[in-house]
Chain A
Amino acid sequence: MGGEAGERRLGRAMSFGIPDVALGLVMGFVDDPWDRDAISLVCRHWCRVDALSRKHVTVAMAYSTTPDRLLTRFPCLESLKLKAKPRAAMFNLIPENWGGSASPWIRQLSASFHFLKALHLRRMIVSDDDLDVLVRAKAHMLTSLKLDRCSGFSTSSLALVARTCKKLETLFLEDSLIAEKENDEWLRELATSNNVLEILNFFLTDLRASPAYLTLLVRNCRRLKILKISECFMLDLVDLFRTAEILQDFAGGSFDDQGQAVESRNYENFYFPPSLLLLSLLYMGTKEMQVLFPYGAALKKLDLQFTFLSTEDHCQLVQRCPNLEILEVRDVIGDRGLEVVAQTCKKLQRLRVERGDDDQGGLEDEHGMVTQVGLMAVAQGCPHLEYWAVHVTDITNAALEAIGTYSRNLNDFRLVLLDREANITESPLDNGVRALLRGCTKLRRFAFYVRPGVLSDVGLGYIGEFSKKIRYMLLGNVGESDQGLLQLSTGCPSLQKLELRGCFFSERALALAALQLKSLRYLWVQGYKASPNGTDLMAMVRPFWNIEIIAPNQDELCQDGQAQILAYYSLAGMRSDYPQSVIPLYPSV
């Protein structure tokens, strides 16, 4: 739109004014929140039209703003996603009482957001009282409730939600800590009160669920497409699968047949509905795996993270699944398994290779290891990969270069180098990282967690130089000195969220980097060189920049002995709900 002609045209358009109705209609076509942001910055008028027509907002850090502000700006919001605890909470690095209560939000949402019908809370503490308030105000409206990795509530609330929210289409509780009060009564309530449910997810929870209620639910909710449950013996679910004619996505169950009579361990007549395309199965062993063979060609997703399969089993199974788009495994799959993936799964878009049981005292017998060999095979064989998270035991520059050459569609790449082996083939990996970043131009998220010496200051400089679009970055054990971090921080123009762990950077360098990274709005650091008296951190003090120190955890359950720094932009001011272990640095400026 540059040039004089363009400017004239623009001027005409703006001076005549676009009617609000038209503007609103046009904005209706813009879903991308980043584009919405750009629109809202054009002028105040556009900002207002956008604010009134925006249906969904994600607040990436609940303490960065207040419910009041949200209401003032977006009074007509229909859907809200809120996140609170740092990501590190998923790794047990954040004290349980850190904060992140949903109460102030739920109170405001219930009282004033008259159009709200979908709520997604992630890593927050939600009490039964909160849910009671929400349900009282929103039961007639609520179509989607996601309590995603939350804690603090019980099945009584679930029963209340099930009983009263008759329009609920999505109930998502994955990986939440839920106190069980009335067994699975909530499930019976849901099965008998709701007939519009499309998604029910309580995968990775400890909730018990009786097959009879589950089957009843499937019978009554004819639109149920996604069912993700906790552990439940698979052979008890045969009726359910025969009833669920349109089920597309199933997770949970259990092939573990302990406590089952021998005669009930027969999978010969096992049945999945033909509509089923996405599967995550628990405790599946070699024997039971064969149940899947007839369905292999139809499957688009397989999650084998929580199974007993060996490297060979993975090879056998994956060979039969040429249409996979999503594959999630542990590193037991090994290079051999990944080579099969590369040969077979030409449509693969998402690949996660998690870390297996390599602890001391672990029982991981299969010795599956993923190295440069597997990475290179996948990079060459699966050109459509967009998301790739992998734990490796060895890695070379050539493998990273191969990813840069072939995996052009990656927008999210995460690599963790495990400490199983004392030595790796090649170090440093500076050039490999440069090649990867140069080649994968669509990368928005990047994690590189290695060990000291593997990425030098030069490598950090490359990251700064070649990560124009990257918004989120996690770096572990990288760099040699402050110089590396400072070099990195002269680049990375889009970096908004940075997580650093186990790096030897001084407080002063961290503070300078935080000032220098021009898009940065969230910084989490664990393991750094504390200055003798802590003052160096004050170099990053500035308006609206909250800095909190999380003291090393004394709690045995939470397993860490290193202080953490959390710093983020906030218009809400210093939070008042921090526990003793959190020390806010909030000098008046």
Chain B
Amino acid sequence: MAGSEQRQVVKAATAAGNGSRFAVTCGLLRQYMKERGAGSSGGGGRFLPAVTMSLMATAGADAGAVGVAAAVEEEEAPEEIKTMELFPQQAGIKDSRERNETEKAQLSQLTIFYGGSVVVFADSPAEKADELMKFAGSRDTAPVSDDDAGAAAAARHLSPGQPCLPDMPIARKVSLQRFLEKRKNRLAASEQPPSPVASSSSPEPEKKEESSKRAKKDDGASWLKVNPTLSL
């Protein structure tokens, strides 16, 4: 009986096309089960509070929004249920977002943002971080020197406050770009006389021709001039 009822719900949801009504119903059920508490379903054991899931994927939103990948993540072994209780407390971290350069635990990763660089230390003891904090508090500007591999890479891109964005050409799908290059070569090879393009390996003449053609249309388009290596 319950099965057929359920089946009707399933059918209704399928008919609705996107199943969201079904998901909402399941959400209600979940609510109901939570309110009824554990033990009422035959052999079901404790109910999964599923708090983690909600926070993880939807932050308490309706279950309909929970994604496929999330479904994989949602599963929690019994012992991990403990972490769920930690969540509300940890959520408080959002409020302490004014935190400073260091993040610490007893022996864990230390990330420092300083002078436009990010430095990451593995297994850094907490006292060290404290010392650093004090040091940072006492001085204003002291260059952080470190030969961590990541730091060099980081310094390259987090250069102090890029004030404005350089133009970013629209990226082209690689598969299409490959085709267009081949196409260009083939056209160039097959119809040498009509176009001034002698060979595909010397794009200069066609570029000139093309850009002069273009100049008529759009002289003010600064983004067209940027970074010709970028396929946009």
Q: Contact residues of A with B, CB < 8 Å?
A: 1-2, 7, 9-11, 13-18, 22-23, 25-26, 29-30, 32-45, 47, 51, 57-61, 64-65, 69-70, 72-74, 88, 90-93, 175, 204, 256, 258, 282-283, 305-306, 308, 330, 354-357, 359-363, 416, 418-423, 442, 449, 451, 469, 471, 476-477, 493-494, 496, 501-502, 504, 511, 515, 518-519, 521, 526-535, 538-544, 549, 551-552, 554, 556, 559-563, 569-571, 574, 580-581, 583-589
Q: Kindly state the separation between the CA atoms of A361 and B190 in the bound complex, as whole angstroms.
A: 17
Task: Provide a sorted-by-A list of 25 A–B residue pairs whose CB atoms are within 8 angstroms.
Answer: A7-B32, A29-B7, A29-B14, A30-B13, A36-B71, A38-B30, A43-B33, A43-B41, A61-B69, A69-B73, A74-B72, A360-B211, A361-B211, A363-B183, A501-B168, A515-B94, A527-B165, A527-B168, A531-B161, A541-B93, A542-B90, A542-B94, A552-B156, A563-B157, A571-B56
| Distance to closest chain B CB from A583 (angstroms) | 5
Cross-chain contact A588 with B108 (CB below 8 angstroms): yes
A306 to B180, CA, bound (A): 8
> Closest CB of chain A to B69's CB: distance in Å?
4
- Once bound together, how far apart are the Cα atoms of A476 and B157, in whole Å? 21
Q: Does B193 contact A (CB under 8 A)?
A: no
Asked if B45 and A44 make an inter-chain contact with CB atoms under 8 angstroms apart, the answer reads yes
Q: Which residue of A lies closest to B17 (CB)?
A: A442
Q: Is the CB of B19 within 8 A of A34?
A: yes
A10 to B41, CA, bound (A): 12
Q: Which residues of A sit under 8 angstroms from B63, Cβ to Cβ?
A: 37-38, 41
Tell me the minimal C-beta distance from B116 to chain A in angstroms.
Answer: 6
Contacts A10-B29, A38-B22, A43-B41 given; indicate if A93 touches B171 (C-beta within 8 A).
yes
Q: A363 vs B181: C-alpha distance in the bound complex, in angstroms?
A: 10
Contact digits for B70-97, partner A, Cβ 8 Å, 1 yes 0 no? 1111110100000000110011011001
B176 at the interface (CB under 8 A from A): yes
Contact among A2, A416, A580 with B150 in the assembled complex (CB-CB below 8 Å): A580
Chain B residues contacting A258 (CB-CB under 8 Å) are 186, 189-190
The chain A residue sitting closest to B77, CB to CB, is A72
Which of B74, B178, B230 gathers most chain A CB within 10 Å?
A: B74
A90, B97: Cβ atoms closer than 8 Å: no
User: Is B99 in the interface zone, CB < 8 Å from A?
Assistant: yes
Closest chain A residue to B157 by CB distance? A563
Most buried by A among B46, B61, B175, B228: B175
B198 at the A interface (CB under 8 A): no
**B137 at interface (Cβ–Cβ under 8 A)?**
no
Please tell me if the beta carbons of B91 and A60 are within 8 angstroms of each other in the complex.
no
Once the chains bind, are A45 and B41 in contact (CB under 8 Å)?
yes
Known contacts A43-B33, A47-B75, A357-B184: A58-B68 contact under CB 8 Å: yes
**A-B contact number at CB 8 A:** 380
Q: Pick the 9 closest A-B CB pairs, nearest first.
A: A587-B103, A17-B42, A45-B44, A73-B75, A38-B26, A91-B171, A422-B218, A44-B48, A60-B69
Q: How far is the CB of A251 from chain B (nearest CB, A)?
A: 12
Distance A584 CA – B168 CA, assembled complex (angstroms): 24
Residues of chain B in range 2-51 having any CB-CB distance to chain A below 8 Å:
2-3, 5-7, 10-11, 13-14, 18-20, 22-30, 32-33, 36, 40-48, 50
Q: How far does the alpha carbon of A30 sit from the alpha carbon of B43 in the complex, in Å?
A: 23
Residues of B within 8 A of A38 (CB): 22-27, 30, 63-64, 66
Judge whether A1 and B70 touch: CB under 8 Å: no
Could you tell me the distance between the alpha carbons of A340 and B103 in the complex, rounded to whole angstroms?
61
Residues in chain A near residue B29, CB distance under 8 A = 1, 10, 42-43
Of B59, B64, B207, the contact of A518 (CB 8 Å cutoff):
B59
A92 touching B171, Cβ below 8 Å: yes
Chain B: CB-nearest residue to A74: B72
Chain A residues closer than 8 Å to B101, beta-carbon distance: 535
Interface size on B, residues (CB 8 A): 135
B142 part of interface (Cβ distance < 8 Å): no
Q: A58-B69, A363-B184, A583-B153 are in contact. Are A35 and B23 (CB under 8 A)?
A: yes
Contact B47 A43 (CB under 8 A): yes
Interface check B199, CB cutoff 8 A: no
Q: Is B214 positioned at the interface, with any CB of A under 8 Å from its CB?
A: yes
Cα distance, A423 to B77, chains bound together (Å): 58
Asked if A422 and B219 make an inter-chain contact with CB atoms under 8 angstroms apart, the answer reads: yes
Is the CB–CB distance between A534 and B116 below 8 Å? yes
* Contact call B109/A586, Cβ cutoff below 8 A: yes
Contacts of B161 in A (CB 8 A): 529-532
In the assembled complex, the Cα of A10 lies from the Cα of B59 at a distance in Å of: 27
Complex formed: what's the CA distance from A488 to B71 in Å? 26
On chain A, the residues within 8 Å of B20 by CB distance are 34, 469
Interface core residue of B10, B166, B177, B214 (most chain A CB under 10 Å): B10
Q: Is the C-beta of B229 less than 8 angstroms from some C-beta in chain A?
A: yes
- B108 CB to closest chain A CB (Å) equals 4
A391 CB to nearest B CB, Å: 8
Give Cα A263 to B25, complex, Å: 68
Q: Are A42 and B33 closer than 8 Å at their CB atoms? A: yes
B116:A533 contact, CB within 8 angstroms = yes
Q: Which residues of B contact A585 (CB under 8 A)?
A: 111, 118, 120
B70 CB to closest chain A CB (Å) equals: 7
B158 touches A563 (CB 8 A): yes
* 15 further interface pairs, Cβ-Cβ under 8 Å (given A34-B20, A494-B65, A542-B90): A11-B36, A41-B66, A41-B74, A44-B48, A65-B73, A73-B75, A74-B72, A355-B170, A361-B203, A418-B170, A528-B165, A551-B153, A583-B120, A585-B111, A586-B109
Q: How far is the CB of A588 from the nearest CB of chain B, in Å?
A: 4
- State whether A37 touches B180 (Cβ < 8 A): no
Contact A15 B166 (CB under 8 A): no
| A2 CA / B14 CA spacing, docked (Å) | 20
Pick the residue among A34, A583, A584 that contacts B23 (CB under 8 A). Answer: A34
Q: Which residues of B contact A422 (CB under 8 A)?
A: 217-221
Q: Does A559 contact B3, Cβ atoms closer than 8 Å?
A: no
* CB-defined contacts of A1 to chain B, threshold 8 Å: 25, 28-29
A538 engages B59 (CB within 8 Å):
no
Distance between A465 CB and nearest chain B CB, rounded to angstroms? 17
The complex places the Cα of A511 from the Cα of B97 at a distance, in Å, of 10
Question: Could you say which of A60, A421, A563 contacts B67, with CB atoms under 8 Å apart?
Answer: A60
From known contacts A449-B170, A552-B157, infer whether A363 and B186 are also in contact, taking CB-CB under 8 Å.
no
Alpha-carbon gap, A30 to B14, bound state (A)? 8
Cβ B221 vs Cβ A519 within 8 A: no
Contacts of B133 in A (CB 8 A): none
CA distance A583 to B111 in the complex (A): 10
Q: Which residue of B lies closest to A357 (CB)?
A: B180
Q: Is B147 in the interface zone, CB < 8 Å from A?
A: no
Most chain B CB inside 10 Å of its own CB: which residue of A40, A258, A451, A471: A40
Residues of A within 8 A of B175 (CB): 90, 175, 204
Are A305 and B174 also in contact (CB < 8 A) when A258-B186, A552-B157 are? no
Chain B residues, CB < 8 A from A542:
90-91, 93-94
By a CB distance below 8 angstroms, the chain B residues around A416 are 170
